[in-house]
Amino acid sequence: MKHATRALLATSAVFLVIAPDVRAADLTVGFTLDADTLDPANHRKRETETILRNMYDGILTRDSNMKVVPEIAESMTQVSPTVYDFKIRSGIKFHDGSDLTAEDVKFTVDRITQEGAMGDGQTSPRQSLMGPVASAEVVEGDTVRITLKEPWPILPAMLPFQEVVSKAFVEKVGSAGLATMENGAGPFKLVEWRKGDAIIMERFDDYYGGASDIAPVGKACVDRVIFKVIPESASRVAALLAGDVDIINELPPFSVEQVKNNPGTDVMTVNGTRSFFIAMNMQGEYFDDPKVREAAAHAIDKDLIIDKILGGNAARIDGILSPDAFAASPDLHKYEYDPELSKKLLAEAGFPDGIEVTMDTEGAFKDTAEAIASLLTKGGIKTTVQVGEGAQLSDKWRTKGAPKSGDMYFTSWGNGSLDPYDIFTPTHKTNDRGNSAGYSNPEVDKLLDEAAVELDVAKRAGMYQQAEAIVNADLPYVYLWVPQDIYGVSKRLKGWTPSADSRINLHDACVE
Amino acid sequence: MSLGKLIERLIQLIPVLLGVSLIVFVMMALTPGDPVQIMIGDQAVTPEQEAAMRRDLGLDRPMVERFFVFLGNAVQGDFGQSFYHRRPVFDVIAERLPATIELSLVALIVALVTSIPLGVLAAIRKNSIFDRIATVGSLLGVSLPGFWFGILLLMLFAVHLHILPVSGRIGYSAEIEPITHMLLIDTLLRGRFDAFLDALSHIILPAITLGLPMTAILMRVTRTSMLEVMRQDYVTFAEAKGLSRRRVIFRHALKNALIPTVSVAAIETGSLLGGNMIVETVFGWPGLGRLVVESIFLRNYPLVQAAVLFYAVTYVLLNFLADILYTVLNPRVKL
């Protein structure tokens, strides 16, 4: 036993000596996923974009209030409903020292939007994120003109998702090379990509400074940035508490107190962009009746669940849009918690003894779904939760109009652009890909179609608000909440704030 | 074993691989969940853009055609492009494989060096307190869920004692030029002892977590077989001859008692590869297991197919190795 103790102490001593040497100006992020690729035009993952956005800059970006502002562009002018001009700033350098020109911007847009532009006949998987872009041309040397096939007012809201690449570099290394190498114009440049483990970047000293509307303008503060991949949330929390990392994303609500109570760490939150709701199968046995849907809405005490299960880290919604989204209606009718009214409505619908239904959900949301089920049961809708896997449930419910089985589906839809186009249309337009309730109202379809191409901002907002009012009365879904994004941070971190679009921009972050 | 036998066994691999390919292909294709829908995520998209993505991934072609295209390419060593990484699946797997192999080997070593002495000790002190503790301990070892035990270790050694890191393979100041891509070996080959210790400190907790169930199983196998051997006539004879107990145990009994342990170890090594999926997730270990789990959820067909084929080959080869070891340890048995 003595020997064992001695051996343990000796081993500990060895590891104490070689404890990872953290440089003063290293900032480490404990992050859920690795990048799929380093090619900004060849992926469809938000996490990949979060990492890449620290090495690449966009034509436009967003400030902390989610306002779209120029980044690599100096200014944006809308010439006509389908033509936008972007004047490109001079003096921007790529990491290899070459100058960024309007030609690079045109090349970037073409690479994303044109058929087969990725090489080998492949089209960028990000093409659909750029809507009806027809072409990009260089005019007057430093201006890029983007022409649309039809009016698409959300182009400025979608451009921050795309990053500018160097034409010469891509032509040299090809799309295959760009998958593992980078030559961006962002605040950090790649040092090493340890696949599945970490992406290590260092400050780019010739950085032009970033968006002039977002202070501070200039070089990044820290010497190195490391995105360390820690998929398991308990391990991410452990890494933060142990001081191995300075920021972690997706801090689970049940760990918030633990992180707050730890002397060296704190919690930061920002309103998220993902709306949670329950789809009710409008072609199904019970929920084809509006009274039954209303009964469900009155049976759920959203505020209680937000308070008790989500730790207060969510904003209540009564329509599909986040309170921060463009055109969100502030005064939608609220279906308040009233289980007696639910029972009465069920009786009126011909179910005086209540109904028995199932609710599908993914494993990650089982606890919340169980809480909702018990509330529904109290209101006369005896609900059993069925846990399924994400892709399988999506197949079952998002049938694009084909008949579906099932009663209720607890699910969500993200809205990174905070524009209704990306969330309202797919979830509410007849037979659209996210319409899991099977909702169909020609009037709403017409409003959604017209709003998508309406350029008058006030008129467009009015259309969406009108559609929200109709949907609020039709009630295809019980709208629940928009959870906040929760980050755990080290107290040595300064100058960083989380951003509502889930990006982790480290340009302004410093460590003490 | 003759060369003929070796070739015969390798030929037997062919129907196994064909069968595995077919089963995995059909299972993936029939599992609900559309790779294109998953990839598009929560976005508005036109039917034309969706069709273009499907075409780019080769998913617009009929299933039977896709299967034969896959087989035809696989025979030439081309397993296709990963839907998400947009690089050859072979490259993506090859990058992750060394981490998994290294972790599995260290876990195997941990399991062997702890299970055999414990098993022998439990056998020769049968029914003692030690034996009982070891038996209960091995039961726990088999039953403790890896993700729970791993997090427990993390909380103790990384968060409270601060002596081991939470995740990863090596620190960020210990960059070494890879040779074998197994960091414990590469750091030593490059003469970087500091980096070796750094890598070692990263691998300890995942290796213990991964090796624990195997340790438990091997300990029980060793104990049982040791007890059996100790009852054999030749052991009684050796003791009657007046040989020391130590000599009887280590020279005569142990060698024969280890035969089942070795074959079980070889087969269990295959299951280490499976256990990796959980351990790699908990410890952020950049191995193949985690990649495969992520790929299954994303319906990244090409990657899952290639990885499962790799697992199948490994399993078959390890079983084969177990057979060979068996004949070496016990010359009376011929393949």
Question: Residues B124-158: pLDDT tens digits?
Answer: 888 889 899 988 988 888 888 888 999 999 999 99
* Cα distance between residue A284 and residue A286, in whole Å: 6
What is the tens place of the pLDDT at every residue in B285-318?
999 999 998 999 999 999 999 999 888 888 888 8
B193 Cα to chain A: minimum distance (Å): 10
CB-nearest to A197 from B173, B201, B286 is B286
Evaluate whether B194 touches A18 at the Cβ level (below 8 Å).
Answer: yes
The answer as to whether B36 is a domain residue is yes
For A44, the closest chain B residue by CA position comes to B39
The answer as to whether B28 is a domain residue is yes
CATH number for the domain spanning B211: value is 1.10.3720.10
Closest CA to B25 of B72, B86, B68: B68
Contact between chains at B45 and A433 (C-beta distance less than 8 A):
yes
Contact between chains at B96 and A196 (C-beta distance less than 8 A):
yes
Longest dimension (CA), chain A: 83
* Cα distance between residue B256 and residue B232, in whole Å: 11
Domain of residue B38: give its range: 3-75
Hey, how many other C-beta atoms are within 10 angstroms of the C-beta on A254? Answer: 13
- pTM for this predicted structure: 0.88
A170: chain B residues, CB-CB within 8 Å: none
The answer as to whether B81 is a domain residue is no
For B154, the closest chain A residue by CA position comes to A238
Among the candidates B28, B43, B75, a domain finishes at B75
Tell me the CB-side half-sphere exposure of residue B230, using CA atoms within 13 A: 18
State what percent of residues in chain B have pLDDT above 70: 97
Evaluate whether B47 touches B60 at the Cβ level (below 8 Å).
Answer: no
Contact between chains at A242 and B31 (C-beta distance less than 8 A):
no
Q: Please tell me whether residues B11 and B124 are part of one structural domain.
A: no
B244-B250-B251-B253 Cα dihedral, nearest 10 degrees: 100
Q: Please tell me whether residues B35 and B110 are part of one structural domain.
A: no
CA-to-CA separations, B142 to A71, B113, B150, B222, B263, in angstroms, rounded: 56, 17, 14, 15, 18
What does DSSP assign to residue A444?
H
Evaluate whether A265 touches A251 at the Cβ level (below 8 Å).
Answer: no
Does A216 sit behind a cis peptide bond, omega within 30 degrees of 0 on the bond before it? yes
Q: Please tell me whether residues B51 and B180 are part of one structural domain.
A: no
Here the tokens at position A74 are: 């100096």
CB-nearest to A228 from B49, B154, B284 is B284
For B292, the closest chain A residue by CA position comes to A196
Here the tokens at position A301 are: 């005490």
Contact between chains at A18 and B165 (C-beta distance less than 8 A):
no
Among the candidates B25, B41, B75, a domain finishes at B75
Please report the pLDDT score of residue B107 as a whole number: 94
Residue with token string 């969940």: B33
How many structural domains does chain B have? Answer: 2
Q: Please tell me whether residues B131 and B202 are part of one structural domain.
A: yes
The answer as to whether B124 is a domain residue is yes
B85: chain A residues, CB-CB within 8 Å: 36-37, 179
Contact between chains at A238 and B290 (C-beta distance less than 8 A):
no
Q: Please tell me whether residues B128 and B172 are part of one structural domain.
A: yes
B187 Cα to chain A: minimum distance (Å): 14
Q: Kindly report which listed range (A119-128, A214-223, B61-70, B270-279) carries the lowest average pLDDT score.
A: B270-279
CB-nearest to A242 from B37, B166, B172 is B166
* Cα distance between residue A303 and residue A310, in whole Å: 10
Contact between chains at A195 and B286 (C-beta distance less than 8 A):
yes
Q: Please tell me whether residues B181 and B307 are part of one structural domain.
A: yes
| Helix segments in B154-300, DSSP class H | 183-189, 193-230, 233-240, 245-247, 254-282, 288-297
Q: Please tell me whether residues B103 and B241 are part of one structural domain.
A: yes
Q: At what angle do helices A290-299 and A339-348 cross, to 10 degrees?
A: 170
Q: Please tell me whether residues B214 and B286 are part of one structural domain.
A: yes
Contact between chains at B43 and A426 (C-beta distance less than 8 A):
yes
For B83, the closest chain A residue by CA position comes to A43
Pair type for strands A188-194 and A198-203: antiparallel
Q: Please tell me whether residues B114 and B262 are part of one structural domain.
A: yes
For B38, the closest chain A residue by CA position comes to A391
The answer as to whether B80 is a domain residue is no
Contact between chains at A235 and B37 (C-beta distance less than 8 A):
no
Per-residue pLDDT of chain A (512 residues; tens, 9 = 90+): 445 445 444 444 444 444 444 445 899 999 999 999 999 999 988 999 999 999 999 999 998 888 899 999 999 999 999 999 999 999 999 999 999 999 999 999 999 999 989 988 888 999 989 989 999 999 988 999 999 999 999 999 999 999 999 999 999 999 999 999 999 999 999 999 999 999 999 999 999 999 999 988 999 999 999 999 999 999 999 999 999 999 999 999 889 999 999 999 999 999 889 999 999 999 998 999 999 999 999 999 999 999 999 989 999 999 999 998 999 998 999 999 999 999 999 999 999 999 999 999 999 899 999 999 999 999 999 999 999 988 899 989 998 888 888 999 999 999 988 899 989 999 999 999 899 999 999 999 999 999 998 989 999 999 999 999 999 999 999 999 999 999 999 999 999 999 888 889 999 999 98
CB-nearest to A230 from B43, B198, B284 is B284
The answer as to whether B83 is a domain residue is no
Evaluate whether B123 touches B222 at the Cβ level (below 8 Å).
Answer: yes
Q: Please tell me whether residues B58 and B104 are part of one structural domain.
A: no
The answer as to whether B87 is a domain residue is no
B31: chain A residues, CB-CB within 8 Å: 391-392
Q: Please tell me whether residues B200 and B69 are part of one structural domain.
A: no
Q: Please tell me whether residues B205 and B283 are part of one structural domain.
A: yes
SS3 string of A491-510?
A: CCEECCCCCCCCCCCCCCCE
Compute the C-alpha angle B227/B228/B232, nearest 5°: 115
The answer as to whether B86 is a domain residue is no
* Cα distance between residue A128 and residue A134, in whole Å: 12
